[in-house]
Each structure stands twice: as structure tokens, then as C-alpha cells.
């Protein structure tokens, strides 16, 4: 069992990683929420990962997919908690992927103005990223995660054994988030000095998860509420969120998982950084090698409209009312505000031209 701490003073918690880690849940509940008399377990119908919190519990099921991340679903959960008699001293347990941990974390932050919760992450995406760090939220028609809060879990359980049943698309989604961590080697004060490379590809699964979690834990500890440095965790996400927002339109015809969109966003960010003179061709190729090494595509979806994507990028909650991107550069990955939209459109056009040139 690997244990990665998230150092947040009196709100410190641990991420448990390994085969069979979910069986440590009763001990995690007892040690982090010792006053709890009852639990609420929230999951999705298709997850099928049994957990025992060591307490009497009520079970709640939420819809599959991003459709679950809505304000009405938060209300439904909170009403269910109230009807079950859950108190602020009890515990809520999210069992699922990033959709579940995002939704349940926000419901826990809202119910009784803050109820303890624990994440049991059952997808690769959740284990390496979504379940750790305390960013919770739901979607609006105008975009992803526009309503939410910072509410840290009491513990995170990452049982790598349950990943064996994931379908290929879920593996791809998790690997897209994992790929960004290859470039965040020096993302927080005190981080070990390591030049970004493709070494993450060669690690065993639990080591891959632990390395990603360790980087995220360090970033979160240095900037919990995204006042500055934590923004590096959004590497590849500005375009990714624009692609996902565009996919909400049924006319798009796209079927992109979050991590698949991030993979495209990582290569786009590298190409934009090169256009701005921040990195060279070799560094762009490293991005392509890492993304390709995880069997991910770096191509824009067919029919992607650059102007429409730019409009979504400006609207993205991380854009700060201008075009801000997290970009690689001489000092590593960092937020860069005030990007000219013409450079963004030109880079998107370059991606389209590269794709057209590679087709037979």
C-alpha cells in the first residue's frame, strides 16, 4: 500500500493507493471521522464496487455521465441526506469516477454548510486527478464546473484492483490526465528537480498513480484555492473544456471523454507555446510522444470551429476574462495571460493542417 499525504495543516489527509485499498475504508472512516454514527454512500448504478464504511449507511444512486453534475441533482442528494437523518458529524462517501467525486464533494460542502466526505475513486481519471485536491462542482449549460467549491475530503482511497474492469475509453480518459503530469515535474516549491520526460510511461500502474497524486498533492498544499500556482494543474484544459463545451451541442457529433480532450489540449498548448517562442520543436515532440505513448489521439475532432472554440475559451472559468493558457516554457509549465486570439486561431489551423497532411 502506498500512502501519499496532502499536507494542509489541520486538514491534512492521506491518499491510499494499491491493490485492495478499498478494504481500508472502515479504518479511514474511524480515524478521520471518529464521531460519525452513520454514512451515506453515493455511487452510480453501473459501478458495482462494494464498499463497507464500518457504519450503518444509506445508499444513493446518481445518473451516469456528465448529466449527473447538475444543481437539481445536488438538491436531490441533499434532500435524501436530510430524510436519512444525516448530521454534520456523519460522513458521506463517494464511490465512483470524477463525475461522482465532483458532484458528491459539492453536495457534501453544501449539506449543513459542510459535511465530512471520503472519496473512493474507481476510475483512473479519479485516482490520478479528480478525487484529490478538494475542487468540487457541477456544470451549467454555459460550461463545465461553473458552480462549485473547495471542500477537501477526509481521505481518498484509490484501489488499483478495480481498474481492471474499466472499458478502454475510461482508460483513455484517465491516461489523458496522467499525461499532463509528465510535464509538471517542478510544479510546486520543494519539488524534486526532474526534467520532463516520458519515464511515467514505463512505471507500474500503482507507481504511475502515486507519482501523479504526489505532484498534485504538492501543488494543492502550496496553493489550495488556485490563487496562483495551482493553475498549472489545468495544463491542456483550456482547449479541452472548450471541446467538451462544444460537445454539449448535439450537432457536434463528438464523443470525447475528458482525458481524451486533455490529450488534444496538451499538444495544442505545446504548439501554441512554440508559436510564442517559449519552447522548441523537440519539446513539442515530447508532448506528442507522451500522448501517443498512452495510445491517445492529438487530433482535433472533425468539424471543430476555431472561432467557436475561442469563444468557449474566453468563457472558461480559468480564463480570467482574457485568454489565459497554462503553457510550457523556459521556467517550466506556468499560467500565461493575455494570449492574442489570433495566435490561438492560427495554432488551431496549424493542427488541422497537420492532420490533413497526415491522412492518406
State the pLDDT at residue 188.
56
Task: Read off the pTM.
Answer: 0.89
For residue 246, is it within any domain? Answer: yes
Residues in the chain with pLDDT values less than 70: 185-195, 249-251, 316-321, 354-360
Examine the domain organization and report whether 150 and 237 are in the same domain. no
**Of 134, 166, 198, which one is at a domain's C-terminal end?**
166
Any idea which residues carry the catalytic annotation?
A: 113, 135, 177, 216, 226, 230, 234, 237, 241, 258
For residue 20, is it within any domain? Answer: yes
Q: Which residues, at least 6 apart from 112, have a Cβ–Cβ distance to it below 8 Å?
A: 87, 88
Q: Note the helical H segments in 84-132.
A: 98-110, 124-125
Distance separating alpha carbons of residues 173 and 257, to the nearest angstrom: 6
pLDDT in tens, 2-15: 999 999 999 999 99
Q: Which CATH number is 136's domain given?
A: 3.40.50.1970
**Of 113, 141, 166, which one is at a domain's C-terminal end?**
166
Q: What is the CA radius of gyration of the chain?
A: 20
Residue of 53, 1, 6, 3 whose CA lies nearest to 219 = 6
**Of 139, 166, 193, which one is at a domain's C-terminal end?**
166
Whether the Cβ atoms of residue 216 and residue 226 lie closer than 8 Å to each other? no
Long-range contacts of 244-250 (CB under 8 A, 24+ apart): 244/144, 245/143, 245/144, 245/312, 245/315, 246/304, 246/305, 246/308, 246/309, 246/312, 247/301, 248/141
Q: Which CATH number is 245's domain given?
A: 1.20.1090.10
Examine the domain organization and report whether 42 and 124 are in the same domain. yes
Pull the grid cell for residue 293: 505513448
Examine the domain organization and report whether 31 and 160 are in the same domain. yes
Domain assignment of residue 286, given as a range: 233-358
Q: How many domains does the chain have?
A: 2
Amino acid at each position: 500500500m502506498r500512502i501519499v499525504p496532502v499536507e494542509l495543516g489541520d486538514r491534512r489527509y492521506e491518499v491510499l493507493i494499491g491493490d485492495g485499498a478499498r478494504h481500508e475504508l472502515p479504518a479511514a472512516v474511524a480515524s478521520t471521522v471518529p464521531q460519525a454514527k452513520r454514512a451515506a454512500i453515493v455511487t452510480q448504478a453501473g459501478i458495482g464496487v462494494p464498499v463497507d464504511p464500518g457504519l450503518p449507511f444509506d445508499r444513493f444512486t446518481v445518473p451516469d455521465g456528465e448529466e449527473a453534475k447538475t444543481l437539481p441533482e445536488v438538491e436531490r442528494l441533499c434532500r435524501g441526506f436530510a430524510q436519512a437523518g444525516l448530521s454534520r458529524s456523519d460522513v458521506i462517501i463517494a464511490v465512483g469516477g470524477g463525475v461522482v467525486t465532483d458532484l458528491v464533494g459539492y453536495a457534501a460542502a453544501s449539506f449543513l454548510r459542510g459535511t465530512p466526505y471520503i472519496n473512493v475513486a474507481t476510475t483512473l481519471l479519479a485516482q490520478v486527478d479528480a478525487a484529490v485536491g478538494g475542487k468540487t462542482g457541477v456544470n451549467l449549460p454555459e460550461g463545465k464546473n461553473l458552480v462549485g467549491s473547495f471542500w477537501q475530503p477526509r481521505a481518498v482511497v484509490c484501489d488499483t484492483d478495480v481498474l481492471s474492469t474499466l472499458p478502454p475509453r475510461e482508460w483513455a480518459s484517465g491516461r489523458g490526465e496522467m499525461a499532463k503530469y509528465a510535464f509538471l515535474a517542478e510544479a510546486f516549491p520543494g519539488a524534486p528537480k526532474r526534467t520532463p520526460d516520458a519515464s511515467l510511461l514505463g512505471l507500474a500502474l500503482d507507481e504511475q498513480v502515486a507519482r501523479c497524486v504526489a505532484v498534485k498533492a504538492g501543488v494543492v498544499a502550496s496553493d489550495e484555492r488556485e490563487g496562483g500556482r495551482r493553475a498549472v494543474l489545468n495544463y491542456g484544459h483550456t482547449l479541452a473544456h472548450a471541446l467538451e463545451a462544444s460537445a454539449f451541442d448535439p450537432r457536434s457529433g463528438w464523443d470525447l471523454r475528458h482525458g481524451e480532450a486533455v490529450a488534444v489540449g496538451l499538444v495544442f498548448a505545446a504548439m501554441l507555446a512554440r508559436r510564442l517562442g517559449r519552447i522548441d520543436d523537440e519539446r513539442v515532440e515530447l508532448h506528442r510522444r507522451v500522448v501517443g505513448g498512452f495510445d491517445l489521439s492529438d487530433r482535433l475532432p472533425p468539424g471543430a470551429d476555431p472561432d467557436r472554440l475561442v469563444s468557449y475559451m474566453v468563457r472558461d472559468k480559468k480564463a480570467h476574462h482574457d485568454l489565459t493558457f497554462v503553457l510550457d516554457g523556459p521556467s517550466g509549465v506556468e499560467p500565461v495571460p493575455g494570449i492574442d486570439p489570433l495566435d490561438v486561431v492560427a495554432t488551431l489551423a496549424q493542427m488541422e493542417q497537420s492532420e490533413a497532411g497526415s491522412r492518406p
